[in-house]
Structure 1
């Protein structure tokens, strides 16, 4: 889960709970009305907040033409580019922001993420350090070669189970098949302490973390090989956690595959066919995914990525249709019984039926949170709809933690009749409402 602008390692340990990654929990610096007034960027920020990212980009550019030293505009313009993996623009504006304010944690974090997505891990290290992430800085500084090298073209991994968590089989360093869950709300690959020992992993850096009523150790290293069916990834950043005695923290699976693995591939979450399909990111593979969606009558949806692992697209709730689809969190894998989480005051504003008599104690951003069952009249992603479906509302979750409004986040249960392909080259989501992948 995102916390203070980053993946909170304690949330990694808790796995993918129902609210995990529910698009986020804590507002970022410089996203307030006061900051906008101070920088003269109110109109641009309003466009950004409304999820009108292209218009916001042009507005920030106009501000920078008049005021090239405007830190807020440079940082936001870089953020807009990074949302869509437009790396040259992202580097240009975020480098400008860091030059204007070398100690600005948010600008450094965004620039570090920009380098991470391009597999320039060592270049990210000084920016993680400036952002206050010393463990990340040490971890990624140790990578001198090319990470995530891909061997093979296609993998089809049948799901060993759907619930309570989806499981597929994968091999670590050439060993026997292990049970891996997956979740796009998690960043890097994780394995259990047992798997780490069996694979001969040694940490590059370790840190002690408060966890529930005690502490655990989080370790960060490099994995020689991760084999996923017909595809093998080499030199993969990996993390594992252990108790003080070295035992596993979580025994529900042997590890978790996060979005950093998935965005190196053209990834299809075939819920309807209960399989995970992985392909090299080639123009031909993307064309096949686009054609399959078109044949099913589904056009591409936009795909945005922020805060290293927070995935978004456009969707809607009944009552928001006057302004058209809005930015929503979109998460695949993980676990939980709800189809979506409705954030902030959205449920109250839209008069969504909410059961206040049945509070649910959970976690959001690694902090205790109270959610309530709610039943939106309709939620929609592309052509996929669910009516009067069981959801949660988290009234204390901020609506715009990353500067743009996210009224809801869609989860594992919503996707079950569907097939979704994530194209991180053109940043498109191909979402087939009902039916298996070809």
Structure 2
């Protein structure tokens, strides 16, 4: 089953995840109408998805000038600066977009944000694989404790970890889990050490919600997510059960890419949206390739999560007799997909969850056909290259 390409409204082309095609369409609009706020905003957002920072800044800056009430573009321009560790430039934009907690958090950073010290690369062994990979890391020089790894999250601590580290909340905001609304505290941690690499002056959030963990096992002390991972060439090596962090130098990138080519790793596009949620191209039962999200922190045994519409288009049989409690807000039902894949990286007879009325796509503005979780990735080694914006994946 393939995705039929359609022409027409560039907003619809963008929504379908055909970003290059949409960008060309918006460019044609700007040739005739250079002050079209929507086209400028969309070209800037598309560039930001691929970490093309100069282009993103150019178009988003103009979009904000043309449409001062466009909060989304202000947030994306702020994110453009945050991803480059230019936190001070993000503060007024976040304040104008009424994202006050992050504005206060970023303006409280002293010293160089995300300053990297130590080794050029480090390999940190997994200390657990269930429900997802976990490593040991040290906060502010204390003894190492266990942290989960979650590509769909920022850096987050438990209340206990924040208190032991002596962190001071500079702001609060509201968030929610599948179970409850919670208060999120915002601050800055002086030091986070992972193996032979230390990060300093790192924005962090903490809360009192329970972290995912197996029954009878103490919960991890926090989660290390994509706001940390995109500062490195990051590999989750399930074959050898380790997290590998490499500095984003030309030498490290060149060496890794040569190794990936020799290993026959699949290279796929990588997009980053909603500040910390990576995306690539995937297929579900032959439906695709289309954009999928890569949130490895989704709880449960499902390898892939999709909305009900995607399940039907993919020809899947959804078991409506066995509802699944995935979140308090969504009705969810299981299915088994004969095949799901990221390029040539394929799993068969995959357990998945179909969500009714899912809000998966509301935050990013484009459609995804599903989310690939850590259960899928446990059969592979995966590397996130946030310089070249590629995902490398190989079966372990």
Give the aligned length: 382
> Which residue is 1:383 aligned to?
344
DSSP-derived class of the 1:368 partner: coil
> Which residue is 1:222 aligned to?
188
Match of 1:297 among 264, 279, 301: 264
Match of 1:332 among 291, 296, 318: 296
Q: Is the 8 A contact 1:330 1:409 kept in 2?
A: yes
Instruction: For residues 234-279 of structure 1, give each alpha carbon's deviation from its aligned partner in whole angstroms, at most 9, with x where no partner exists.
Output: 110111124xxxxx75561101111100000110011122110111
Q: Distance in 1 between matches of 2:267 and 2:137?
A: 30
2:233 is aligned with 1:269: no
Q: What is the CA-CA distance between 1:124 and the residue it aligns to?
A: 1.0
Q: Is the 8 A contact 2:231 2:248 kept in 1?
A: yes
Instruction: For residues 302-351 of structure 1, give each alpha carbon's deviation from its aligned partner in whole angstroms, at most 9, with x where no partner exists.
Output: 10001112211111122425xxx211112335542111012240111222
Aligned positions of 1:59-78 closer than 5 A = 59-78=25-44
DSSP-derived class of the 1:419 partner: strand
Deviating more after overlay: 78-87 vs 216-225: 216-225
> Which residue is 1:20 aligned to?
none
DSSP-derived class of the 2:350 partner: coil
2:50 is aligned with 1:84: yes
Q: What is the CA-CA distance between 1:400 and the residue it aligns to?
A: 4.8
For structure 1, list consecutive stretches of 5 or more residues without a partner in the other structure: 1-40, 243-247
Q: Is the 8 A contact 2:246 2:252 kept in 1?
A: yes
Q: Is the 8 A contact 1:374 1:390 kept in 2?
A: yes
2:221 is aligned with 1:254: yes
Q: What is the CA-CA distance between 1:136 and the residue it aligns to?
A: 1.2
Deviating more after overlay: 78-87 vs 64-73: 64-73
Q: Distance in 2 between matches of 1:333 and 1:267?
A: 16
Q: Distance in 2 between matches of 1:211 and 1:53?
A: 31
Q: Distance in 1 between matches of 2:261 and 2:101?
A: 44
Q: What is the CA-CA distance between 1:176 and the residue it aligns to?
A: 0.3
- Larger RCO (CA within 8 A; separation ≥ 6): 1
Instruction: For residues 56-95 of structure 1, give each alpha carbon's deviation from its aligned partner in whole angstroms, at most 9, with x where no partner exists.
Output: 2121111112112212111110010000000000001110
RMSD: 2.1
Q: Distance in 2 between matches of 1:79 and 1:67?
A: 18
> Which residue is 1:12 aligned to?
none
Match of 1:415 among 341, 363, 377: 377
Q: Is the 8 A contact 1:108 1:128 kept in 2?
A: yes
> Which residue is 2:323 aligned to?
359
Aligned positions of 1:2-401 closer than 5 A = 42-152=8-118, 153-187=120-154, 189-207=155-173, 216-242=182-208, 250=211, 252-320=219-287, 325-333=289-297, 335-363=299-327, 368-397=329-358, 400-401=361-362
Q: What is the CA-CA distance between 1:51 and the residue it aligns to?
A: 2.2
Distance change (3 Å), C-alpha of 1:314 and 1:216:
closer
Q: Distance in 2 between matches of 1:266 and 1:341?
A: 26
DSSP-derived class of the 1:430 partner: strand
Q: Is the 8 A contact 1:150 1:233 kept in 2?
A: yes
Q: Distance in 1 between matches of 2:179 and 2:196?
A: 42
Q: Distance in 2 between matches of 1:193 and 1:63?
A: 50
TM-score by length of 1: 0.82
Q: Distance in 1 between matches of 2:380 and 2:177?
A: 36
For structure 2, list consecutive stretches of 5 or more residues without a partner in the other structure: 1-6, 212-217
DSSP-derived class of the 1:426 partner: coil
Q: What is the CA-CA distance between 1:112 and the residue it aligns to?
A: 1.3
TM-score by length of 2: 0.91
Distance change (3 Å), C-alpha of 1:260 and 1:399:
closer
Q: Is the 8 A contact 2:15 2:366 kept in 1?
A: yes
Q: Distance in 1 between matches of 2:302 and 2:90?
A: 36
Q: Is the 8 A contact 1:122 1:144 kept in 2?
A: no
DSSP-derived class of the 2:366 partner: coil
